[in-house]
Amino acid sequence: MSVLHPVSRIALLALLASACIEQSITDVSREKDLSNLTPSFLVAGASVIIGFEPLEVPPWYIVGTIHGQDDWSSFGPYDHKVTLNTYGYASFQLQSLRISNAITSGSFGDQTFSKRTPNYAGETESNCGTFCQGTRQSHFEVEWDFASTTPTAQQTGLAVSASPDRGDGARMSFVRLRDQTVSPEGLAVDFVDVQGVNRVPPACGVANFEEATAVASGLNRAVPHTIKITMDLLEGPSNDIVKVYVDGTLRHTGTSWEDYFRYDCEAAAHLGKPPIVNRILYRTGGTAVPTTLGLGFVIDNLSLGTLPASDACKNGGWQSLVRADGSSFKNQGDCIQYTNTGR
């Protein structure tokens, strides 16, 4: 839904915010494993790029609820809002999306869903629900920056999750951002994986949700950090590949939640079909932490997009992909042939 805003309000926002970005922070250099640096089509080719700015190409973002702005949905009572950047993060420019877990719930559909991609990612049999648009593709990427609203202080209990989704809480993966108060202190990133299902075929069973893996911890609270999730949604069960990068370095390789939707009795309504992915869900669940009200994390420089499966084979991608039977590819051409023909 497009929302028109008076020019005077946009100008006022720009004037107010310009004073807020004069001071800047200097990111500290980080050693990186060059063999694991993230490949990125999103830098040049993301289909959705969002800076939450008031002066971007319309529809402009305005301070306050993000619900209804530029295809975003967020109609619950949560502390998830577009805010002026008063935190000194120059790369975040004038405005950012701020999220705290001051208010939480066990629900999904009323939390914060990003603008959707023009195409969607999934397998041939993936469950669209009412959310498919465009062309089905098999590779999904999302990247964003996040930072603390209190760069010099802890926010005990602060936690926000982010999940590739289709728009109703049918999450296909899970990353959690949190402020860690135990050693090593600082910001932390967790990943939750599904490794198979306990069942006796053909009956349904219970998915093996692994304990959260801390893929990064002790991150400096005073600088922004970059999260990237890549997903290769391959034909057949138990073979999707999910990678999590933090600040440009691969920190974890796992799989999606496809087997939960295929085999878990709780997910029977999905008829054994994993859902598609076309956006990111930012959610605050669990125990509420009222002291984070008006604070939390700021999120910015969000980009997301999809690619055809054959493109995922390029630039060395074939080396981390496998066929439905678990076998590896000999080279890029072998991978492309399989994605095009299934053989």
Q: What is the per-residue pLDDT across 136-185, written as a single tens digit (0 to 9) for each?
A: 999 999 999 999 999 999 999 999 999 999 999 999 999 999 999 888 99
SS (H, E, C) 44-89: HHCCEEECCCCCCCCCCCCCEECCCCCCCECCCCCCEEEEECCCCC
Contact 280, 128 (CB under 8 A): no
Which of 62-71, 104-113, 301-310 is the least confident region? 301-310
Q: What is the mean pLDDT of the chain?
A: 85
DSSP state of 116: P
pLDDT over 70 percentage in the chain: 82
Q: Is the pLDDT of residue 283 over 50?
A: yes
180/322 Cα distance (integer angstroms): 36
Helix and strand tally (H, E) in the chain? 5, 19
Q: Say which amino acid occupies 8.
A: S
Q: Rounded to 10 degrees, what is the CA torsion of 85, 86, 90, 92?
A: -20
Per-domain residue ranges for the chain?
A: 41-50+97-303, 308-343
Distance CA 26, CA 91 (A): 11
Integer Rg of the chain from CA:
20
3-state SS class at 178: strand
* Residue 235: count of CB within 10 angstroms of its CB: 16
Task: Give the pLDDT band (50/70/90) at residue 318.
Answer: confident
Distance CA(256)–CA(168), nearest Å, equals 17
Task: Give me the half-sphere count of Cα atoms (radius 13 Å) on the Cβ side of residue 267.
Answer: 24
Average pLDDT over residues 77-104: 97
pLDDT at residue 7 tops 60: no
Q: For residue 284, give the amino acid letter.
A: T
- The C-alpha atoms of residue 272 and residue 131 are separated, in whole angstroms, by 18
With CA atoms as reference, report the closest residue to 229 among 274, 269, 193, 178.
Answer: 193
User: What is this structure's pTM?
Assistant: 0.83
- What values do phi and psi take at 282, rounded to 5? -100, 125
pLDDT in tens, 319-329: 877 775 668 88
pLDDT above 50 for 14: no
Query: What integer is the mean pLDDT of 268-275?
Result: 95
Task: Give the Cβ contact number of residue 59 at 10 Å.
Answer: 15
Structure confidence by residue, pLDDT tens digits, 198-222: 988 889 999 989 889 999 999 999 9
Q: Which helix (H) or strand (E) holds 42?
A: helix 42-45
Residue in the structure block whose two tokens are 């198979």: 196
In terms of C-beta density within 10 A (0-12 exposed, 13-18 middle, 19 or more buried), how is residue 189 classed? buried
* Of 108 and 29, more confident: 108
Burial zone of 273 (CB within 10 Å; 0-12 exposed, 13-18 middle, 19+ buried): middle
Cα–Cα distance for residue pair 343/333, rounded to 1 Å: 12
Mean pLDDT over residues 324-343, rounded? 77
- Measured CA to CA in angstroms, residue 343 lies from 165, 289, 335 at distances of 29, 52, 9
Q: Is pLDDT above 70 for 46? A: no
Whole-number pLDDT of residue 299: 98
- Residue 36, pLDDT above cutoff 50: no
The CATH number of domain 41-50+97-303 is 2.60.120.200: yes
At residue 321, the pLDDT reads 74
Between residues 145 and 311, the one the model is more confident about: 145
pLDDT of residue 25: 22
